[in-house]
Chains A and B, each alone.
Chain A
Amino acid sequence: MKVLFRNVKELVELASTENKLISELMIEQEMLVTRRTREDIMNQMDRNLTVMEQAVEKGLKGVHSTSGLTGGDAVLLQDYMKKGNTLSGNLLIDAVSKAVATNEVNAAMGTICATPTAGSAGVVPGTLFAVQNQLHPTREQMIRYLFTSGAFGFVVANNASISGAAGGCQAEVGSAAAMAAAAIVEMAGGTPQQSSEAFAITMKNMLGLVCDPVAGLVEVPCVKRNAMGAANALVAADMALAGVTSRIPCDEVIDAMFKIGQSMPTALKETAQGGLAATPTGRALAERIFGADFVKGV
């Protein structure tokens, strides 16, 4: 298969030499690989963006999962933010609340768009709809945000993993946060190189994160990991825009993530056998939800 880029180095070099946005290269590659028209591709991403908007809207009204483990936190955060006394800043808390909103809808079996997975679906839209209020992007720029995220996610998925069962949470929320950081930089007017720095800085701070869902549900700690993924992405984007660079190149960070995932024990890769799932409270919650037999099996 002929592609325009296989790793971040090629992606950034091509964007720099051709003086194109990363989102543009992702769109061109999609046209090349799928032979679909630009209009068709843009329209599909527009529909995905609409699904994300609707999920956030639904979550901000307040939803609760069947298990009762998650729900309502997005509302708490919005109410708190509106009082205007946030310590970490309104934009950051707005992003966090919208990431939480998306994942609360996901946990309640609502409709979401996986970015790159359902368990990590909050970070990219959460950050997008928060920076939207400050950067005032056009609809096309918002769609491009998703293509920039997608370009980096494409590299991770093909060179490492975006599966929690294969690589732990670092592969899911870690990838999502790093993708979002790169997209924030592009929307804020940073260079492709700065996007890759933001990606690397975020991913480095997600390395080693395990996937240990209580009762096997995509709820605890997944929802709050999306919240912190969004925060991580915003801070890393600001660092990159300030001119801070990563000493370890982006592709090597991705490779490190892959190797850490491979050496991570199975108990910490979406099997609900270790980590938070195996704590006394984690086990008690699983027993309450599914009964003692199920927990014994775990």
Chain B
Amino acid sequence: MKFKSVFDIIGPVMIGPSSSHTAGAARIGLVTRELFGRQPKWAKVYLYGSFAETYKGHGTDIAIIGGLLGFDTFDERIKTSFELAKEASMTYEFIPENGHTEHPNTARLVIGDDAGEMELIGVSIGGGKIEISELNGFPLRLSGNHSAILVVHDDMPGSIAKVATCLAEQNINIGHMEVSRKEQGQMALMVIEVDQPIEDQVIKEIAMLPYITQVTKIAD
């Protein structure tokens, strides 16, 4: 079931005009920023399907930039996000693409700063709800609606068990989990959606486990 909560249907509270093209777009931007861990210096946004055809009319562009600046769907600052991006010295570019995607409302965000880059594919599936379908080339399925932990790690025996044990010790329940890798024994990614809030201390503990390269959390 893609829609779990009644507030996916009666909600979100948001700035108009479109739940999929404005609120969903803002959420894709916001999740991207949270995963990056800081505000990017630059952003390239590739738009597909209905996003590519109607992004200007729906304010999809200002919403994505608003999200990258840290604004949620109901934040009135979304309306002036282009000006605010300028003040924050963040550059951006929008590139409408003709390519076919599985869902019509898809955006590919490539963002970065002097310290690094990140690439993410986000899909707005309707009513303001989103899914992240790819992160740095790793396929995944992340709703952005639950607290989640993303762990980049080496594809080694025991690495998943150690992370799961660490969460169990903190009494954190795993609601959904996916593991993907590019090649056997190489870099891999764990996506763990959890039912409880995640304290920073838990993130630090996971980061100190063997084979773990990077840990990021997404707040509910």
Contact = CB atoms under 8 A, between A and B. Distances in A.
B112 interface: no
Given A113-B10, A116-B9, A151-B6, A162 B127 contact: yes
B50 A112 contact: no
B6 A30 contact: yes
A298 B21 CA distance: 17
Contact of A158 (B3, B12, B53, B103): B3
A217 B23 contact: no
A117 B55 CA distance: 17
Interface residues of A, number: 66
B37 interface: no
Nearest to B1: A158
Interface stretch (B56-64, B86-94, B154-162, B180-188): B56-64
Nearest to A214: B57
B10 A117 contact: no
A226 B100 CA distance: 31
Contacts of B49: 165, 271
B13 A113 contact: yes
A219 B18 CA distance: 10
B5 interface: yes
A153 B10 contact: yes
Nearest to B79: A109
A111 B58 contact: no
A165 B53 CA distance: 11
Given A111-B76, A271-B50, A106 B17 contact: yes
B6 A26 contact: yes
Contacts of A228: none
B57 A272 contact: yes
B105 interface: yes
Given A51-B13, A118-B16, A217 B57 contact: yes
B11 A109 contact: no
Nearest to A176: B9
Interface in A249-298: 266, 269-273, 289-290, 294, 297-298
A270 B1 contact: no
B2 A163 contact: no
Contacts of A118: 14, 16-19, 22-23, 128
A166 B103 contact: yes
Interface residues of B, number: 44
Interface stretch (A42-50, A79-87, A198-206, A231-239): A42-50
Contact of B50 (A33, A149, A270, A294): A270
B22 to A, nearest CB: 7
A118 B15 CA distance: 9
A165 B105 contact: yes
Contacts of B126: 116-117, 157, 161-163, 165-166, 171
Contacts of B19: 114, 116-119, 121
B9 to A, nearest CB: 4
Contact of B53 (A153, A218, A273): A273
B125 interface: yes
A47 B1 contact: no
A113 B12 contact: yes
Contact of B5 (A33, A51, A109, A114): A33
Q: Could you say which of B8, B103, B195 has the most chain A C-beta atoms within 10 Å of its C-beta?
A: B8
A218 B13 contact: no
A1 interface: yes
Interface in A19-47: 26, 29-30, 33-35, 41, 44-45, 47
Contacts of A108: 16
Given A161-B126, A164-B20, A150 B103 contact: no
A182 interface: no
A101 interface: no
26 contacts: A26-B6, A30-B6, A33-B4, A111-B16, A111-B74, A113-B10, A114-B127, A115-B9, A115-B10, A116-B19, A117-B18, A118-B22, A118-B128, A119-B19, A146-B10, A150-B6, A150-B9, A157-B3, A157-B8, A162-B9, A162-B126, A163-B20, A163-B125, A166-B104, A270-B53, A294-B56
Given A157-B9, A158-B1, 19 more contacts: A30-B7, A107-B17, A109-B79, A111-B13, A114-B127, A116-B126, A117-B18, A117-B19, A118-B19, A149-B9, A151-B6, A154-B9, A157-B2, A165-B126, A213-B54, A216-B56, A217-B58, A269-B50, A270-B50
Interface of A: 1, 3, 6, 26, 29-30, 33-35, 41, 44-45, 47-48, 51, 105-119, 121, 124, 146-147, 149-151, 153-154, 157-158, 161-166, 171, 179, 213, 215-219, 266, 269-273, 289-290, 294, 297-298
